[in-house]
Amino acid sequence: MRNASSFYLSALLLSAVLSASAAEIAPAATYGPELQGFDYPYPLKHYAFESQGAHVQMGYMDVAASGKANGRTAVLLHGKNFCGATWEQTIKTLSAAGYRVVAPDQIGFCSSSKPEHYQYSFQQLAINTHALLEQLGIHKAIIVGHSTGGMLATRYALLYPQQVTQLVMVNPIGLEDWKALGVPYRTVDQWYQRELKLNADDVRSYETKTYYVGRWKPEYERWVTMLAGLNQGPGHKLVAWNSALIYDMIFTQPVFYEFKNLSMPTLLMIGDADNTAIGSDIAPPDVKAKIGKYNVLGKQAAKLIPQATLIEFSGMGHAPQMEDSDAFHKALLEWLAKQ
C-alpha cells in the first residue's frame, strides 16, 4: 500500500509540474483575421458594401442612450493601434449621458475586412464611415477621433461639414508633417516586414514608453492582447500587409495643413506628455529630438483651427481617455453640454 500511495503521489506531482510547464509555454491568445474570438463590450454588428471592386464589411457597435435620450449621436473613430472596443468607457459614459453612440472599426482594422488590395486614403475611410451612418439614418453627428482617428475625423469634417455638429480630437497624430521635417520614408514592403514581427512584448514596451509616459496599468493588457492576438492569428500576413498600407497612408497624407478650413466647433483634448511620432524610431537624432512634442503641438493646432477649444491633461500621454477616464469624460461632457 505504501508503494502504491507513493507512486500515486509522485504521479500527481509530475502531472502538476507538467501542467505548470505547459502553462508557461502556452501561446498567447490569438484571434481570427477579423478579430473573431475577441469579446466586444457591446453587440458587434456588420455593414457590408462594395469598395474598390471588393466585397467588404465594417464591424461596428451602435449603442442607444441608457440615460434620458438627448437626440444627439456621437461617432467614435479609433486609432491605429486601437479598435472600436477600446472606446468602451467612453461609450458607457456618453450613453449614460443620453447620447446614441456609434463606434465603427475601419476597413483594415480589427473586426473589419482586410482586403488583399486596397488603396488606403483618409477620404476613402471617411466615405465608408459616411455610408455606414447614412444606412443607420444618422445625418448629423458629433465626430470624435483619437490618434489616427483624429486624422480621419478631420478629413470627415472637411468632406461633410454640414453633417458634423461638433468635432473632437483626442491626441490626434499628424499634427506635424514628419516627412517634411526629415523623418526617412519607409516603403510599404519595409513596413510589412516590421509588422510581421509584431508581438505582445514589443507592443507593451512601445505603448508604455510612447503612450503612457512610462506608467503601465493592468487594464491596458487587454488591448495589447487584442492587437498582438490579431496580428499573430491565422490572418497574420494579411493583417500585417494591411497595417503596412495604413502606415503609409498616415505618413504620406497629413491633414493639419487644412485645419484652417474646419468650420465647426472643435475640441482638442491633449495629453501633453505624449511623444507619438510615426517614424521616430528611424529618424536622425536631431529630427527625433524635435518631433512628437504634444505640449507644443496641441497649442499650435488650436491656433490653426477657427473655433477651437484646447483642453490639456498635464503629464498624461497618448490616451487620456484611458489614463484618467473620470477627468477626461467630465471635460468632454461639459464641453458638449455648452454646444
**Nearest CA to 97 among 126, 74, 127?**
74
- Separation of alpha carbons 272 and 294, rounded Å: 5
Are 173 and 148 in contact, with CB atoms under 8 Å apart?
A: yes
- Displacement of CA 279 from its chain's centroid (Å): 18
Q: Per-residue pLDDT tens for 68-92?
A: 999 999 999 999 999 999 999 999 9
- Separation of alpha carbons 223 and 296, rounded Å: 28
Residue 333 has pLDDT above 70, yes or no: yes
Asked if residue 295 is part of any domain, the answer here is: yes
Asked if residue 179 is part of any domain, the answer here is: yes
Per the structure, the complete domain to which residue 297 belongs is given by 31-338
Q: Per-residue pLDDT tens for 107-120?
A: 999 999 999 999 99
Q: Per-residue pLDDT tens for 179-227?
A: 999 999 999 999 999 999 999 999 999 999 989 999 999 999 999 999 9
How high is the pLDDT of residue 210?
87
Asked if residue 103 is part of any domain, the answer here is: yes
Asked if residue 5 is part of any domain, the answer here is: no
Q: Per-residue pLDDT tens for 259-295?
A: 999 999 999 999 999 999 999 999 999 999 999 999 9
**Nearest CA to 80 among 109, 114, 54?**
109
Asked if residue 287 is part of any domain, the answer here is: yes
Residue 2 has pLDDT above 80, yes or no: no
Asked if residue 235 is part of any domain, the answer here is: yes
The average pLDDT across 225-248 equals: 97
Give the confidence band of 6 by pLDDT, cuts at 50, 70, 90.
very low
The average pLDDT across 32-51 equals: 98
**Cell numbers standing for residue 168:** 473632437
The number of distinct structural domains making up the chain is 1
Q: State what percent of residues in the chain have pLDDT above 90.
A: 91
Classified as helix, coil or strand, 10 is helix
- Displacement of CA 58 from its chain's centroid (Å): 15
Asked if residue 4 is part of any domain, the answer here is: no
Residue 25 has pLDDT above 80, yes or no: no
Give me the CATH number covering residue 111: 3.40.50.1820
The average pLDDT across 17-40 equals: 67
Q: What are phi and psi of 60, to 5 degrees?
A: -160, 160
- Record the pTM: 0.91
Asked if residue 273 is part of any domain, the answer here is: yes
